[in-house]
A and B are shown apart, each in its own frame.
Chain A
Amino acid sequence: MAEKATEEQILYASILNKGMMIGFLGLCATFAVYALGILSPMIPIGEVQHYWVMSVADYLQESGIKAGWAWAGNLSYGDMLNFAPIAFLSGLTVVCYLAIIPGLLRKKDKAYVVLAVLEVVVLSVAASGILGSGGH
């Protein structure tokens, strides 16, 4: 393939690549902390199998786990720590979009600036938890 990737594509790819590496390593590291019992989990690891057969609403009710961003305040627990790299990976796209907006502005590519800003808004709203939590 010889198409010259645009400046924005290269920048986007570069951030995505680094972020993916960090996120993946983080995922493995935090899981090791969890599985090896280095930090004790909020739900004992042997009891998780009782919860994953339930609907998410029942799981939240029975386990007392709070949905949304509550995990961020419980990073001292082995299981909750795993949400950090998962959230990091889920947030990468927003970072990539924010990074390409200045380049699009310089090129006066108004349509794509608007599209990129809208995408950031959509993903940020999804991430914020504003749209509710709970399940059935």
Chain B
Amino acid sequence: MSRFSKISIVAILLIAVMVFVVSSLSLASSGGTKAIEEAAAQVTGTEHVWWFWPLVLFVLTFVLGIFAVLAGVGGGVLYVPIVSGFLPFHLDFVRGAGLIVALAGALAAGPGLLRKGMADLRLAIPLALIASTCAIGGAMIGLALPTNVVQTLLGATILMIVVIMIMAKKSEFPNVPKADALSQSLGIMGVYHEPTLGKDIDWKVQRTPIALGLFVIIGVMAGMFGLGAGWANVPVLNLVMGAPIKISVATSKFLLSITDTSAAWIYLNNGAVLPLMVVPSVVGIMLGSLVGVKVLLVTKPKVIRIMVIVVLGVAGLKALQKGLWPELI
């Protein structure tokens, strides 16, 4: 296993342990919830016309949509920490909206990726079953935990994502000497034409049982934080399983349409979805993504990626502060 796949696994496991430990500790004492809600209420001290915050959301998500494309990340991972960190909405509704935003993006991209054979249904189905099942659990845990705890865990998770974004490399064509028994029995393999090389690439995958285990954690976190989970899907598909990067990115995007569906239902059924937040966010991020694709042709994605990492880092710290020291707002 390469150094980076080990780093990815260790990072995801670390996040999981952290989530478990902090959740356990917090279930005993949930006194911070009131404080954060009062603090959030203070932010909205001034009343606005009804369309003010939806318009802010639309403009913000439009910009996020552009940046998400340029930085190669999903909308949800930017949306949740930034909107919950800097706008007056309660984290419950931000997570609900974040899931619908990530879901809409994945649903929109899915058909094209499947038709072109970039997203692989046979690769996605077993992983999606695990992730979507666990996302239900994650969503239920996220809605049951006190807000300050979820906010703290979100901040820590975002900071870990920043570390993963900085450290994890991509492997265009990972070397998979032998497919594992499980993937062989499920027939998970394929071939695609790589235009940059002008040849067909055969691919197969390895370590499927380990990947399934990691998707348990990915599913729980996707549901708990409403983040989408492309940031974790791609390293597991590419570095752990050994799928080519293009197959990994496309299959990850498609996977989100299934993982986020199950969690979105839990938020929807719990009343944590407000149309006045969701619709401007979905429309904004979709329009922004369309513009982002155009901008991608004339900009340097590396610079944008660094900017996004910095913004995510700040948003992660802000979420930590709101969770641990809400009185500082």
Contacts and interface: CB of A to CB of B under 8 A. Distances in A.
Interface of A: 1-6, 8-10, 12-14, 16-17, 19-20, 23-24, 27-28, 30-31, 34-35, 45-46, 48-49, 51-56, 58-60, 65-69, 79, 82-83, 86-87, 89-90, 92-94, 100, 111-112, 115-116, 118-119, 122-123, 125-127, 129, 131-136
B301 interface: no
Dominant secondary structure at the B interface: helix
Contact of A115 (B90, B125, B272): B125
A5 B257 CA distance: 18
A99 B129 CA distance: 17
A122 B114 contact: no
B271 A56 contact: yes
Nearest to A5: B117
Contacts of B126: 115
A49 B143 CA distance: 20
Given A23-B107, A89-B107, A131-B269, A1 B114 contact: no
12 contacts: A1-B117, A2-B117, A3-B117, A31-B275, A52-B277, A53-B88, A58-B37, A68-B269, A82-B279, A123-B258, A136-B145, A136-B146
Given A46-B49, A116-B125, 8 more contacts: A2-B117, A19-B107, A46-B50, A56-B271, A86-B278, A115-B126, A134-B270, A136-B145
Contacts of B265: 90, 123, 126-127
Contact of B33 (A3, A34, A55): A55
B110 interface: yes
Nearest to A100: B121
Contact of A9 (B44, B114, B136, B270): B114
- Could you say which of A10, A14, A34, A56 has the most chain B C-beta atoms within 10 Å of its C-beta? A56
Contacts of B258: 93, 119, 123
B190 A131 contact: no
Tell me whether chain A's interface is mostly helix, strand or loop, or mixed: helix
B190 A3 contact: yes
Contacts of A133: 269-271
A115 B262 CA distance: 15
Rank and list the top 8 A-B pairs by shortest CB-CB distance, nearest first. Answer: A3-B117, A2-B193, A82-B275, A17-B111, A13-B114, A67-B271, A126-B265, A3-B192
B266 interface: yes
A136 B262 contact: no
B108 interface: yes
Interface in B86-115: 88-90, 92-93, 96, 100, 103-104, 107-108, 110-112, 114-115
Interface of B: 30, 33, 37, 40-41, 43-44, 47-51, 53, 88-90, 92-93, 96, 100, 103-104, 107-108, 110-112, 114-122, 125-126, 128-129, 132-133, 136, 140, 143-147, 185-186, 190-193, 200, 246, 257-258, 261-266, 268-279, 282-283, 286
Contacts of A4: 117
Nearest to B92: A56
Contacts of B145: 136
B107 A111 contact: no
Nearest to A6: B121
B144 to A, nearest CB: 7
A47 to B, nearest CB: 8
A87 B100 CA distance: 10
Contacts of B50: 45-46, 48-49
Given A5-B116, A83-B275, A52 B140 contact: no
